[in-house]
């Protein structure tokens, strides 16, 4: 039995919902409708496929591979994931009671996915949506002076890898070889310093606004708010500052020249995201394709089990869309 799409609901916001009847071969269906799905992603920023009834890891990984132009392994991971192999992962391990704010996957890396693929094998009892926001719309809604500063200076990300919170450096870089980490950082314009306790501190300057690699549209593409200390729950931030010191937080962001970003500025960015957020609750078997440059995504708090797979697809390199802020590599 094979099926065809039975309708596309363009709905509000950037997401298109494509409904299809059940099929006994989701991989074949993905192959047959690959061009349609990718066109919808380009046109709308994201497309949700409902009705495929994805339910197992191997079948879902096959669908991901059919839809992508290529899958990539994650480097510089922010949070631990379970690896299923060949660029296919679990969703990030993040406390279910805490929202994961809007971001573009690996926007702090020089090689990042042009598209994210998600599949819900089992939906939570409540909450847990992968919400979306259109990046050009967010960019247009932000104050001109703020955009101009970030566009001119870029943004600065500092990270402190340790064994207590988030991904440690061996997980983040996929190796226990310090020389390999140093080589990667040198090639990726990342400053690094090994710490006496065996941890790692890094610092990297990146563009906040980039042209879309296909359309050329200016996109607000960063994790300035998500990785800011001011997005942390206040009690968690206070605990981490007491434990590691203000300079030892697992992550933090600044203006590209090193100036601190105020809590009000971070709140403003998150408020603009919130004003332009669309969400569709997960249903078992759903497939979601997201243009990672045009569309930011988040994960909302939830209750009950939630099993969502993810794949990093269509890698984009500096040659495909050079940063607006110059970075140097050696």
Instruction: Please indicate whether residue 320 or residue 255 has the higher confidence score (pLDDT).
Output: 255
How far from 118 is each of 32, 241, 284, 290, 292, CA to CA, in Å? Answer: 19, 34, 12, 8, 12
Q: Does position 271 have pLDDT exceeding 90, yes or no?
A: yes
Summarize pLDDT for 124-179 with one digit per residue, the tens.
999 999 999 999 999 999 999 999 999 999 999 999 997 767 678 998 998 999 99
Write down the pLDDT at residue 326: 54
Write down the pLDDT at residue 82: 85
Summarize pLDDT for 83-134 with one digit per residue, the tens.
898 889 988 888 888 888 999 999 999 999 999 999 999 999 999 999 999 9
Confidence of residue 81 (pLDDT cuts 50, 70, 90): confident
Contact 161, 241 (CB under 8 A): no
Cα(126)–Cα(306) distance, rounded to whole angstroms?
10
Give the pLDDT mean for 214-241. 93
The two structure tokens encoding residue 102: 């809007």
First to last CA, the chain: 54
Q: What percent of the chain has pLDDT over 90?
A: 71
Starting at the edge strand found earlier in the chain, the sheet holding 112-122 runs 5-9, 15-20, 46-50, 287-291, 112-122, 307-316, 88-90, 83-85
Cα(108)–Cα(246) distance, rounded to whole angstroms?
21
How many other β-carbons are positioned within 10 Å of the β-carbon of residue 116?
22
Write down the pLDDT at residue 188: 94
Q: What is the mean pLDDT of the chain?
A: 89
Does this model's pTM top 0.85? yes
Write down the pLDDT at residue 145: 98
Q: What percent of the chain has pLDDT over 70?
A: 91
Write down the pLDDT at residue 228: 96
Q: Does position 17 have pLDDT exceeding 80, yes or no?
A: yes
Write down the pLDDT at residue 254: 97
How many other β-carbons are positioned within 10 Å of the β-carbon of residue 95?
10
Cα(170)–Cα(97) distance, rounded to whole angstroms?
27
Q: Does position 2 have pLDDT exceeding 50, yes or no?
A: no
Q: Does position 10 have pLDDT exceeding 70, yes or no?
A: no
Summarize pLDDT for 298-316 with one digit per residue, the tens.
999 999 999 999 999 999 9
Write down the pLDDT at residue 1: 35
**How many Cα atoms within 13 Å fall on the side-chain side of residue 132?**
28
Task: State whether residue 204 is helix, strand or coil.
Answer: strand
Contact 14, 45 (CB under 8 A): yes
Give the pLDDT mean for 246-250. 89
Write down the pLDDT at residue 64: 97
How many other β-carbons are positioned within 10 Å of the β-carbon of residue 321?
20
Instruction: Please indicate whether residue 235 or residue 1 has the higher confidence score (pLDDT).
Output: 235
Summarize pLDDT for 29-53 with one digit per residue, the tens.
999 999 999 999 999 999 999 999 8
Opening angle at CA 121, ends 115 and 123, nearest 5: 100
Cα(178)–Cα(173) distance, rounded to whole angstroms?
10
Write down the pLDDT at residue 321: 47
Q: Does position 7 have pLDDT exceeding 50, yes or no?
A: yes
Question: φ and ψ at 65, to 5 degrees?
Answer: -65, -35
Instruction: Please indicate whether residue 281 or residue 319 has the higher confidence score (pLDDT).
Output: 281
CATH code at position 244 = 3.60.130.10
Write down the pLDDT at residue 166: 67
* Closest to 90 (Cα-Cα) out of 285, 279, 287, 306: 306
For residue 77, give its domain range.
1-330
Domain count for the chain, please give it. Answer: 1
């Amino acid at each position: 039995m094979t099926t065809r799409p039975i309708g596309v609901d363009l709905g509000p916001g950037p997401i298109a919902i494509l409904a299809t009847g059940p099929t006994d071969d989701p991989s074949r269906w993905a192959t047959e409708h690959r061009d349609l799905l990718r066109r919808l992603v380009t046109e709308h920023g994201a497309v949700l496929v409902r009705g495929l009834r994805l339910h197992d890891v191997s079948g879902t990984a096959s669908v991901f591979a059919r839809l992508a132009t290529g899958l990539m392994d994650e480097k510089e991971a922010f949070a631990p994931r379970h690896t299923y192999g060949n660029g296919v992962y679990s969703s990030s391990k993040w406390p279910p009671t805490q929202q994961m704010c809007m971001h573009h996957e690996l926007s702090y890396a020089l090689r990042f996915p042009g598209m994210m693929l998600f599949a819900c094998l089992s939906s939570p009892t409540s909450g847990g949506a992968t919400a979306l926001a259109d990046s050009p719309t967010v960019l247009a809604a932000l104050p001109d002076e703020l955009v101009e500063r970030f566009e001119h200076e870029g943004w600065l990300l500092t990270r402190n890898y340790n064994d207590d919170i988030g991904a440690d450096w061996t997980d983040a870089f996929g190796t226990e070889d310090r020389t390999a980490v140093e080589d990667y950082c040198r090639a990726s314009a990342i400053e690094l310093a090994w710490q006496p306790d065996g941890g790692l501190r890094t610092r990297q300057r990146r563009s906040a606004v980039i042209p879309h690699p296909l359309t050329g549209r200016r996109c607000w593409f960063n994790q300035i708010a998500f990785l800011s200390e001011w997005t942390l729950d206040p009690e968690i931030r206070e605990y981490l500052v007491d434990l590691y010191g203000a300079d030892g937080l697992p992550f933090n962001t600044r203006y590209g020249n090193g100036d601190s970003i105020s809590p009000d500025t971070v709140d403003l960015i998150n408020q603009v995201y919130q004003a332009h957020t669309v969400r569709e609750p997960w249903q078992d078997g759903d497939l979601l394709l997201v243009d990672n440059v045009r569309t930011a995504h988040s994960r909302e708090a939830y209750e009950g089990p939630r099993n969502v797979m993810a794949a990093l697809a269509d890698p984009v390199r500096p040659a495909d869309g050079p940063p607006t802020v110059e970075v140097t590599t050696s």
